[in-house]
């Protein structure tokens, strides 16, 4: 991975792309873990900057980052912000027409994106699996990772399909699970189910 990323490079990228001069508490630890090829679980309150924890490494790692998220409006907002900041990003979810989704998939196979947000329901679609089959996925992010816990009211059965999807990739990417709402039991469930 990118163990040799200097502090200067991290801060310069943080400033150039995101406009921040420094990391918030906890962010740099997660960023460094991912850059060093170690899986990470980021449990941070809403508004604490969880997205920086995976978006910054995504820009510094070779390959593509897939961000699995159940939140359509969040995907749209984050992709719009990334694109406005010069990052090649896209999303695949139910808000797209079939033609729009096909265009994103086509561009994915051509290497047009660095970060791709995807709804968990898309992971097992043959068209998506064909698109990622020949891509180098360096980072797989599970946003809203508490949705994997069968004990919570936010349980999403499709989140259980993330681990098999990851295992089917040509090479296993680094995995980052992010959540703002995780109890101790759900953290244990996330780590076990994500194989962190």
Reported as a single tens digit per residue, the pLDDT across 52-107 is: 999 999 999 999 999 998 888 889 999 999 999 999 999 999 999 999 999 999 99
Check residue 166 and give its pLDDT: 87
Check residue 89 and give its pLDDT: 97
Question: For residues 60 and 194, what is the distance between their CA atoms, to the nearest angstrom?
Answer: 23
**Residue 117: closest CA among 157, 73, 159:** 73
Question: For residues 107 and 172, what is the distance between their CA atoms, to the nearest angstrom?
Answer: 22
Confidence of residue 183 (pLDDT cuts 50, 70, 90): low
Check residue 49 and give its pLDDT: 84
Name the average pLDDT for the chain: 86
The CATH number of 7-194 is which of 3.40.50.300, 3.30.565.10, 3.40.1410.10, 3.40.50.2000?
A: 3.40.50.300
Q: Is the pLDDT of residue 194 over 60?
A: no
Question: For residues 191 and 152, what is the distance between their CA atoms, to the nearest angstrom?
Answer: 15
Check residue 153 and give its pLDDT: 47
Confidence of residue 192 (pLDDT cuts 50, 70, 90): low
Domains of the chain by residue range: 7-194
Spacing of C-alpha 78 from chain mean position: 11
Q: Is the pLDDT of residue 159 over 80?
A: no
95-104, 110-119, 138-147, 155-164: least confidently modelled range: 155-164
Check residue 147 and give its pLDDT: 61
Question: For residues 101 and 194, what is the distance between their CA atoms, to the nearest angstrom?
Answer: 27
Cα angle 3, 40, 59; round to 5 = 50
Check residue 151 and give its pLDDT: 46
- How many other CB atoms sit within 10 Å of the CB of residue 123? 21
């Amino acid at each position: 991975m990118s163990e040799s990323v200097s502090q200067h490079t991290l801060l310069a990228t943080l400033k150039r792309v995101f406009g921040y001069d420094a990391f918030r508490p906890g962010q740099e630890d997660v960023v460094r873990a991912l850059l060093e090829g170690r899986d990470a679980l980021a449990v941070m309150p809403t508004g604490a900057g969880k997205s920086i924890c995976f978006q910054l490494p995504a820009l510094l790692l070779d390959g593509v980052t897939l961000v699995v998220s159940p939140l359509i409006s969040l995907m749209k907002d984050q992709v719009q912000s990334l694109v406005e900041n010069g990052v090649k990003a896209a999303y695949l979810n139910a808000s797209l027409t079939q033609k729009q989704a096909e265009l994103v998939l086509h561009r994915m196979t051509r290497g047009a994106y660095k970060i791709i947000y995807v709804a968990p329901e898309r992971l097992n679609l043959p068209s998506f699996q064909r698109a990622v089959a020949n891509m180098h996925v360096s980072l797989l992010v599970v946003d809203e990772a508490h949705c994997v816990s069968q004990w919570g009211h936010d349980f999403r059965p499709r989140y259980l399909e993330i681990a098999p999807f990851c295992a089917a990739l040509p090479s296993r990417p680094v995995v980052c699970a992010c959540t703002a709402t995780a109890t101790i039991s759900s953290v244990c469930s996330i780590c076990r189910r994500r194989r962190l």
